[in-house]
Amino acid sequence: MGNEDKIQKELPACEKTGVATVNGQVVAINDRTCRELIKEAMNMLNYSYTPYSNFKVGAALLGVDNKIYTGCNIENASYTPTNCAERTAFFKAVSNGVKEFAAIAIVGGKEGKIENYCPPCGVCRQVMMEFCDPDQFYVILAKSEEDYWVYPLAEIMPMGFSPKDLK
């Protein structure tokens, strides 16, 4: 059984659920939550600044406070200062004092047309590792509010480096 089969079995399409527990606070990640995050991420495609690649990405990050922090990708002519949608959402939340998260929804596509799942890059996965328990944080990859997959961060960032490794 491959990872996708395993996740699909654990989180069936009709009732995808998970529970994130951060510092004793429990946040349910169910179909309604996923759809709400996906809708917010899709809306962020409208704010994407992508004059070079034309590949727009939107993200919606759920804090354990049940607030949603959104982000879009922002490109730069020299490329290196470009910021991904996922990191934009995390940095907005952290700059507002929030450092505990339950899930993130990510959507993206050329010209903002969502045709495939849009997994986070390695740098974004590393930022997630900084703030999230990889077994308790969920990454939602979506093509639409009805067509999505949910993965624990640990599944997409095996053997990830985190602040725990520095202790």
86 is catalytic: yes
Q: Is residue 161 part of a domain?
A: no
Domain count, the chain: 1
| pLDDT at residue 17, rounded to an integer | 57
Strands (E) across the chain are located at 18-22, 25-29, 55-63, 68-72, 101-110, 138-142, 148-152
What is the Cα–Cα distance from 154 to 135, expressed in whole angstroms? 6
Residue labelled with tokens 């996922």: 86
| pLDDT at residue 5, rounded to an integer | 39
| pLDDT at residue 27, rounded to an integer | 76
Domain that holds residue 14: 3-154
Q: Is residue 13 part of a domain?
A: yes
| Active-site residue identified among 40, 86, 111, 145 | 86
Q: Is residue 163 part of a domain?
A: no
| pLDDT at residue 20, rounded to an integer | 67
Q: The dihedral of CA 6, 10, 13, 19: what is its sign? A: negative
CATH of the domain at 31: 3.40.140.10
Q: Is residue 137 part of a domain?
A: yes
Q: Is residue 67 part of a domain?
A: yes
Q: Which two tokens stand for residue 75?
A: 């490109």
Residues of the chain short of pLDDT 50, as ranges, are: 1-15
Q: Is residue 160 part of a domain?
A: no
Q: Is residue 166 part of a domain?
A: no
Q: 89: helix, coil or strand?
A: helix
| pLDDT at residue 82, rounded to an integer | 96
The predicted model scores a pTM of: 0.87
Q: Which two tokens stand for residue 113?
A: 């047309």
| pLDDT at residue 4, rounded to an integer | 40
Q: Is residue 162 part of a domain?
A: no
